[in-house]
């Protein structure tokens, strides 16, 4: 039986990296019946809502989506479709594994980085509650609840227990935001007591950022509220080669959306040079979610081999190949 999965190629380079990812998934032999859903900035503008109903209906039906980037206007225009999907489907956990890719030249290439970042995905300053109090004075509301903090903490600890992770670092700014971040950190401590086999510590977000750059190899699992999670997870991506290579998953109780975290890259869209690694890596998380661990391992090894060989990399990684040549190499390396 084929898995029914929603495919949202998105816009910009989205369709290019989505096609490449569909090709490598086909090559793994895992049968997937894609329900392709078009979503782009112009479709959103026409529909008048950042999450057109046909997109939501498809993910609600299939329970799983693989998603490319969608262009979002900055400082005005429609709201982020990504935030809308996360909210509508209650995808409360954003999961980003960050690890060294063999052979990939980065500033930290000699350091063995292997961490997983858990970011609360539904509240904090992303609640979208902003208003102008009086002219030229704007207020944004930072919402932190016990419900959401406990839920993300438990998710991170459960993941760590199942996957043999040994240490969780909760990141906060509770020295300043004593109430909101204070609540978050109290919830993390409470859940930590239920997992005595996992070491637990806390770092203030500014210190955590410095430590991540100075000693990235010492981090195992990071647990953060939404805004710090957003920033720190991109910082971490930068340690291992940038947004073009790290995967992302948005997980809820009943739905999961696997997505590349980079944007629609309008500067290179349509040129056939986009690097599909991030979406391919996200599809590896999707395969694991489906219970297709063997196919996930094969694809992971094939990507690693392609990076080690280094002869078919895309331009953003210092290579000279296009999306198709890179994809052909990954398929060729599938054992
Ligand atoms: P971006 O990630 O699109 O691009 C930043 C730089 O990285 C560009 O130079 C681009 O060419 C390069 N780049 C990104 N992905 C690449 C890839 N796979 N291969 C090779 N090079 C790659 O970020 P941006 O320019 O800030 O945003 C562009 C648009 O994307 C904006 O409208 C933004 O809102 C949107 N966006 C969408 C998502 C999403 O849908 N998940 C995420 C971030 C940004």
Closest CA to 280 of 295, 260, 294, 263: 260
Q: Supply the pLDDT for residue 114.
A: 97
Query: pLDDT tens digit string along 110-162?
Result: 999 999 999 999 999 988 899 999 999 999 999 999 999 999 999 999 999 99
**How many Å from the N-terminal Cα to the C-terminal Cα in the chain?**
23
**Cβ-proximal residues to 99 (8 Å cutoff; 6+ apart), any chain:** 113, 114, 115, 240
Taking CA atoms only, the protein residue closest to ligand 1 atom 25 is 265
H helices present in 203-311, as ranges: 205-214, 226-239, 277-289, 293-309
What global pTM score does this model have? 0.93
Q: Are 208 and 236 in contact (CB under 8 A)?
A: no
**Cβ-proximal residues to 38 (8 Å cutoff; 6+ apart), any chain:** 9
Instruction: Give the dihedral of Cα atoms 247, 251, 255, 260; nearest 10 deg.
Output: -20
Distance 10 CA to ligand 1 centre (A): 12
Given pLDDT bands bounded at 50, 70 and 90, which one contains residue 82? confident
Taking CA atoms only, the protein residue closest to ligand 1 atom 8 is 265
**The dihedral of CA 294, 296, 301, 306: what is its sign?**
positive
* Token code pair at residue 243: 């947004």
Given pLDDT bands bounded at 50, 70 and 90, which one contains residue 50? confident
Q: Supply the pLDDT for residue 203.
A: 98
Distance 119 CA to ligand 1 centre (A): 20
Taking CA atoms only, the protein residue closest to ligand 1 atom 38 is 263
Reported in sequence order, the residue ranges of 160-260 that DSSP labels E, i.e. its strands, are 167-172, 199-204, 221-224, 249-251, 256-259
Distance 318 CA to ligand 1 centre (A): 18
Pocket lined around ligand 1, Cβ cut-off 6 Å: 13, 17, 69-72, 82, 243-244, 259, 262-268, 274-275, 278, 316
Atom of ligand 1 nearest to the CA of 277: 18
Query: pLDDT tens digit string along 227-243?
Result: 999 999 999 999 999 98
């Amino acid at each position: 039986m084929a898995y029914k999965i929603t495919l949202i190629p998105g816009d910009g380079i989205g369709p290019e990296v989505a096609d490449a990812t569909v090709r490598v998934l086909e090559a793994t032999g895992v049968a997937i019946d894609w329900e392709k859903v078009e979503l782009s900035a112009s479709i959103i503008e026409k529909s008048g809502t950042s999450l057109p109903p046909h997109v939501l209906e498809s993910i609600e039906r299939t329970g799983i989506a693989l998603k490319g980037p969608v262009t979002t206007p900055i400082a005005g225009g429609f709201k982020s479709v990504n935030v809308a999907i996360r909210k509508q489907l209650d995808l409360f956990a954003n999961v980003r594994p960050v690890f060294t890719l063999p052979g990939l030249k980065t500033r930290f290439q000699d350091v063995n980085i292997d961490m997983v970042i858990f970011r609360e995905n539904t509240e904090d300053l992303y609640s979208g509650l902003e208003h102008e109090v009086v002219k030229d004075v704007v207020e944004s509301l930072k919402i932190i609840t016990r419900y959401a903090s406990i839920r993300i903490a438990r998710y991170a600890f459960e993941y760590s227990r199942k996957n043999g992770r040994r240490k969780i670092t909760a990141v906060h700014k509770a020295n300043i935001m004593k109430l909101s971040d204070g609540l978050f950190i109290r919830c993390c401590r409470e859940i930590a007591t239920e997992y005595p086999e996992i070491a637990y510590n806390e770092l203030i977000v500014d210190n955590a950022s410095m430590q991540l750059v100075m000693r990235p190899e010492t981090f195992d699992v990071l647990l953060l509220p939404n805004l710090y999670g957003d920033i720190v997870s991109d910082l971490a991506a930068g340690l291992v080669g940038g947004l073009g290579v790290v995967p992302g998953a948005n997980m809820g109780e009943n739905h999961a959306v696997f997505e590349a975290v980079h944007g629609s890259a309008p500067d290179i869209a349509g040129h056939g040079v986009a690097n599909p690694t991030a979406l391919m890596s996200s599809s590896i998380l999707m395969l694991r979610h489906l219970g297709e661990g063997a196919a996930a391992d094969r694809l992971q090894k094939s990507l690693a081999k392609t990076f080690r060989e280094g002869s078919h990399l895309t331009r953003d990684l210092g290579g000279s190949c296009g999306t198709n040549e890179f994809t052909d190499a990954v398929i060729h390396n599938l054992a």
